[in-house]
Structure 1
Amino acid sequence: MKNLQYVLLVFLVLFSSKEILAQKDSIAAQRKARKFLRQGNDLYKKQKFTDASVAYRKALGKNANYDKASYNMGNALYQSKNYKEAIPQYELTAETAKDKFTRAEAFHNIGNAMMESKNYQGAVDAYKNSLRNNPNDDETRYNLAVAKKLLDKQNKDNKNDKNKDNKDNKDKDRKDKDDKNKDKNKDKDGKDKDKDKKDDKDGDKDQNKDKDKKQDPKNNKDDKNKKKPKPQQGKMTPQQIKQLLESLNNEEKKTQKKMNARKAKGKKVKQEKDW
C-alpha cells in the first residue's frame, strides 16, 4: 500500500514538473514571438518590408496562431507586391481572429490582394465577407462595386475572345478542307490538266504571234498601201483656175452686200433734241 502511494506521489511530481516546464516554454515562446513582432513593426515603419516579413515569420515560428504576426506579415508581403503570398496570411488572421472587426480587415485586405492579382471574382467574395463582419465599412463597399465592374468586363472580354477563337478555328477548318479538296483534285487530274495547260499555252502563243503581226505598224502600213493606194492630187487647167477665181469674187460680193444690209437695219437713228 505504501509502495503504491509512493509511486503515485512520484508520478504526480513528475507530471507537475513537465506541465510546469511546458508552461514555461510556452511563455518563453510567446515572449520571443512578441519580441520578433516588435522587431518586424520597427522594420515595417522604416519601410524595410522584406526584413519585416522575415521578423514576422520568426514570430509565427514561435507561435503559429499569433494573429497579429500573421496579419502584419501579410501587410509586409503586400507592400513588397508579393500579393499571392500575402493572401494566406490574411486568411490565417480571418480564421484565428476573435473579433469581427479584425476579421473584416483581414477579408478587406484579401480583396485588395485579389484585385492586384486581377482575381476579380475572389476580390468580390472577399469584400462580401468583410461586409458581413462590418456592414458599415464604406471603403469596402466601394471596393466591392469596383471589383464587380471589373469582373463583368473580364467576363465579357473572355466571352469575346472565346467567340473569336471559335470563329478562327472554323475558318481554319474550312481552309484546310478547301486545301484538301484542291490537293485531291490535283492528284486525280493533275497530269491531264498540265497537258491541257501546255496546249493552251502553245495556242495562246500562236494567237499572240498572229496578233503581234497584225499590230506591227510596218505590216499594217504595207497592207494599207496595197489595199488603199494614196490618191494623187489632180492638176487644174488655166481655164479652170480663171473660172474658180471669178466664182469666188461673185460669192464675196454677194456676202458683202448682205452684211451691209444687216448693219443698216440694226443701226440706231439719231434724234435731235428740242431745246
Structure 2
Amino acid sequence: MRVFSFNFFGNMLRSMNGAYILVVSLFLTGAVFGQTDREKRKLMNETNQLLADASEDLNENNFPQAEADYRKAVAIDPLGETARYNLGNAYYNKTMNEEAIRRFGQAANAATGKPEKHKAFHNLGNAYMNTKNYQAAVEAYKNALRNNPTDEETRYNLALAKDLLEKNPPQGGGDDNKDDENKDNKDKENEDDKGENDDGKDGDDKKEEDKGEEKDENKEGDNKEDKGNPDKPNEQKEGDKPQQQQPVPGKLSPQQVKNLLEAMNNEEKKVQDKINAQKQKGAKVKSNKDW
C-alpha cells in the first residue's frame, strides 16, 4: 500500500513497505513562537532526526522504537501534523486501526494546507473502513474530497463506502424490537387464555353429557354426538365463505413492496456498475496516501 510523501527539501526516506515517510524541516509553530532562531533550528533538527530515525526503525522492522521516535517528535512539535500523520501510517500498516484513526484525525485537524488535509482524511476513511464503520468512512472521504475534489481514488473509496453502508446500515431500532417482543408476549398470553377458556368449556360439556346419561340412557348417543361437536356448523360456515383479508393500516401492499425492491436494486446496480467500471478486481479500498 503506497503512501504519498512531500518534502520541502526533496529528502524522502522509503519505509519497509515502500511507503514514503515525510522528512520535513518544520516551520515556525506555536510551540516555538518567541524563541530565538538558534533554538528554532535546534528543535527542527531534533524533529527531523527523530523522523529519520523512525523511518530507519521501520525499515529494520523495529516498530516499538519507531513508535517511540514518532511520539518524541510529537512532543517536540505538539501543533504539527507531520509526526502524527506518519505515526498514523505506521499504526495503519500494523492494522492497529483505532490508534491510526486517532492519529489521522489529529493530523487532519492540525494540517493547514488542503493537500495535507486531503491525505489525512483519505487515510482516516481507510482506517474506518477496516473497522467496518462505513458511516464514519463516508464522512471522512467527503472531507477529503472537499480539500481535493479531483482525486479519483478518494471518489472510488467514497462510492464503495456508500455501497457498503447501504448494505450494512447502523444497527438500531431497539425500541421497535422491544415493542415486537412485547407484542409476541401479549399474543402468547392471549393464546394461553384462550386455551384455558376452551378447557373450561370442555368441562361444562362433559357435565351436560353426564346429566343426559342420568335422564335418558337411550338418548346417550344423540346427546354425545350433539354436544361433542358444538363447533361443526360454524366451521362449515367459515369454510363455505372464507373471510376476505383486510389491508393492514400502514402496511405496504405486495405490489408496493415489489416496486420498492426494484427501485433499491436499480440504485444498488448503479453504484456497483460505477465501482466495477473503475476497477475490475473487486471491492477493495484503494491505497493510503503518503505525505
TM class, shorter-length: 0.5 to 0.7
Task: Specify the alignment match of 1:66 in structure 2.
Answer: 80
Task: Specify the alignment match of 2:256 in structure 1.
Answer: none
Pair 1:78 & 2:92 matched: yes
Instruction: Summarize the Cα distance change of 1:180–1:69 in structure 2 as closer, same or farther, 3 Å threshold.
Output: farther
Shift of 1:56: 0.5
TM-score calculated relative to the size of structure 1: 0.53
SS at match of 1:147: helix
The 2-side partners of 1:24 and 1:68 are apart by 22
Q: Greater helix share, 1 or 2? A: 1
The 2-side partners of 1:37 and 1:182 are apart by 77
- Identity rate, percent: 37
Give the alignment partner of residue 145 of structure 1, picking from 159, 170, 174. Answer: 159
The answer (yes or no) to whether the contact 1:90–1:109 under 8 Å persists in 2 is: yes
SS at match of 1:64: coil
The 2-side partners of 1:28 and 1:168 are apart by 67
RMSD: 3.8
TM-score calculated relative to the size of structure 2: 0.50
Shift of 1:81: 1.5
Pair 1:32 & 2:46 matched: yes
In the alignment, structure 2 segments of 5+ residues that lack a partner are 1-32, 211-291
Task: State how 1:122-137 maps to structure 2 within 5 Å.
Answer: 122-137=136-151
Give the alignment partner of residue 108 of structure 1, picking from 112, 122, 128. Answer: 122
In the alignment, structure 1 segments of 5+ residues that lack a partner are 1-18, 201-275
Q: Amino acid of the residue matched to residue 60 of structure 1? A: V
Shift of 1:149: 0.3
Q: How many residues align?
A: 177
Task: Specify the alignment match of 1:173 in structure 2.
Answer: 186
Task: State how 1:258-269 maps to structure 2 within 5 Å.
Answer: none
Larger relative contact order (CA 8 Å, sep ≥ 6): 2
The answer (yes or no) to whether the contact 2:80–2:111 under 8 Å persists in 1 is: no
From the CA coordinates, give the structure whose radius of gyration is larger: 1
Shift of 1:71: 0.5
The 2-side partners of 1:175 and 1:77 are apart by 53
Instruction: Summarize the Cα distance change of 1:158–1:89 in structure 2 as closer, same or farther, 3 Å threshold.
Output: closer
Shift of 1:180: 6.9
Instruction: Summarize the Cα distance change of 1:182–1:72 in structure 2 as closer, same or farther, 3 Å threshold.
Output: same
Task: State how 1:1-275 maps to structure 2 within 5 Å.
Answer: 24-155=38-169, 158=171, 167-176=180-189, 178-179=191-192
